Amino acid sequence: MANVQPHRNSEFPVRETHRIPALPGNRMEMSSEGKGWRDLYTSVASEQSWSATIGGVDHFCLAYCVSGSAGITRRISGSTTPTRAILRPGYFGSIPAGAETDWRVEGAPQVMLLYLRKTLLKRVVEQVFDDDQRRLQLRPILGEAEPLLEQLSLAVLSALRASGTDERLYVDSLAHALAVQTVYALGEGGNERQAVLAARRDISGAGMRRVIEYIDAELGNDLSVVTLAEVANYSPSFFARAFKRHTGESLHQYVLKRRIAHARKLLMGSDLGISQIAAETGFSSQSHLTSAFRRHTGRTPGALRRNRG
């Protein structure tokens, strides 16, 4: 089995992201802070009319209009001409990485911000787009529809609304897909067929066996798409998609199923406490194990243990 250490990337550096301006009527509704998401930070806020200058940060940001609408005027530092557009539900704007921007918002939209870690975008360009550095020059957008980005953004929103932390592998996959589509749709230069061709590659049988063995051996650790892709010797950008094509299950679903199966085995065949079993099988807490176990088996861990034998 490959000697790969569990991926320990810290949570996305929230302190480096923009915050909604602290103005009357602006309200942060939810964010991914504290969820352990590694390559993506997202937040949802309800806004009223405002204007402000937002300082530059290192990470590219997509702004997706969830509901409501607003007239937007944006000027990117270095540009003398502002851009104006209507932001409607399903439409996007963007905040370029490293650039100070001036904004004027007239309306009451509900907006989701999605920050992609810069190292993720670099990795995608290296592995999917033949390290064509032009692709990192992302075209700024305002009031534009991007159907595939919208589908991925809505999936992120659904994960953000979910309780618990067992969606991290799923969000890893979404972040990679979102990064690939962002570079594909907004990046400069390159061969437009590369992403499609890369998506058709499959994991070898030997690589798949290594991944399955590694998952079973490391269930108690914080598994990530990056780590498992390294085990398979495969690009993480399309690893999750190829895994599902190979197994018929998403990576997130497969790992959760294996964790529940191992927890069931320990409940039936050991005297470990339920909280210890939760830690041994990669759940964040006993309550996390209990809710996942009940959802997938119809019983709680305690009920299963009481009825064993």
pLDDT of residue 8: 44
Q: Considering the domain boundaries, does residue 189 fall inside one?
A: no
Domain end marker among 146, 177, 211: 146
pLDDT of residue 206: 74
Mean per-residue pLDDT pooled into runs of 10, the chain (309 residues):
42 68 80 89 92 88 94 88 90 90 93 94 87 88 90 93 72 90 83 48 73 88 81 70 81 88 90 89 87 88 79
pLDDT of residue 12: 77
Provide the domain count of the chain: 2
pTM of the model: 0.69
CATH number at 283 reads 1.10.10.60
pLDDT of residue 221: 85
Q: Considering the domain boundaries, does residue 89 fall inside one?
A: yes
User: Would you state the torsion angle of the CA atoms of residues 164, 43, 177, 236, taken in this order, to the nearest 10 degrees?
Assistant: -60
pLDDT of residue 240: 74
pLDDT of residue 175: 92
pLDDT of residue 237: 60
Interstrand relation of 101-107 and 70-76 (parallel, antiparallel or unpaired) = antiparallel
Q: Considering the domain boundaries, does residue 88 fall inside one?
A: yes
> Domain containing 136: what range?
14-146
Residue 107 amino acid letter: G
pLDDT of residue 19: 63
Domain end marker among 92, 126, 146: 146
**Radius of gyration of the CA atoms of the chain, in A:** 21
Domain end marker among 146, 165, 180: 146
C-alpha to C-alpha distance for 128 and 280, rounded to whole angstroms: 36
